[in-house]
Amino acid sequence: MLKKKLKRNSYKPVKLIIVMQFKLSPHTISLMQECPRCFWLTQHKIWQRPEGITASLMNGMDRILKTHFDKFRDKGELPPELQNNGDCNNLMLFDDPELLEVWRNYRKGIVWEDENGNILMGAVDNVLVNTKNNKLIILDYKTRGFPLKENTHEYYQNQLDIYNFLLRKNNYETEDYAFLLFYIPKEVLPTGVVLFDTTLKKVKINILNAEYLFNKAIKLLNSQCPEERCKWCENVEY
């Protein structure tokens, strides 16, 4: 009887690549730009950079400003801060209170999920609508203790870009600009009432920048932990 010669199966070991899923926001992406290692450690739940003290005054201002704007929205009007600004001609406040409440909620917000299950989300302050073309415009409130510098708005560029990116990923058309509305303390009246100056800043947005930041963050998180350390993570061993 002839014996068949058995052939060994030839194979190469397969390297398994485990792709994790992450949830990002303008805040977490800001951390990535400040320190990639802190960002990586936090997102991988190995260590979390200590949070700074949250300014309760800013939170309080945020709350009363939303209420202030909502009162004018319900009347179908723009508040005085916007009424007399030429950049706000033909604009109205977004008139879907229930949807806006979701978009404002930092636990829900405007959400988009990529093909790998990574999530990008952001919670907005308010939204305007161009009545001529129904395109949306992000309106974000900022409280500052000092007058604006020429480049102050640049600090918030990524945040505005990400908000617009999220709206477009959810099939909403947006204008190619957004608004920052700054409130700056001016004086205290004898009655104790504090007066604020307001400045509305129109900022051109860049959707490609938001997409680049998201992709950069995901690529970083699926790589090895960065070695360069900052003052916060310099003593964290991993």
> How far are the Cα atoms of 19, 38, 84, 108, 218 from residue 45, in angstroms, in the given order?
15, 11, 48, 21, 15
Q: Has residue 16 got a pLDDT over 50?
A: no
- Write out pLDDT tens, residues 152-206: 999 999 999 999 999 999 999 999 999 999 999 999 999 999 999 999 999 999 9
What is the tens place of the pLDDT at every residue in 140-150?
A: 999 988 889 98
Query: What confidence tens digit (pLDDT) does each residue in 28-42 have?
Result: 999 999 999 999 999
SS (H, E, C) 107-122: CCCEEEECCCCCEEEE
Cα 74 off chain centre by: 26
Which residue type does 152 have? T
Query: What is the reported pLDDT for 69?
Result: 98
Q: What is the pLDDT of residue 19?
A: 64
Span 84-136, pLDDT tens digits: 899 999 999 999 999 999 999 999 999 999 999 999 999 999 999 999 999 99
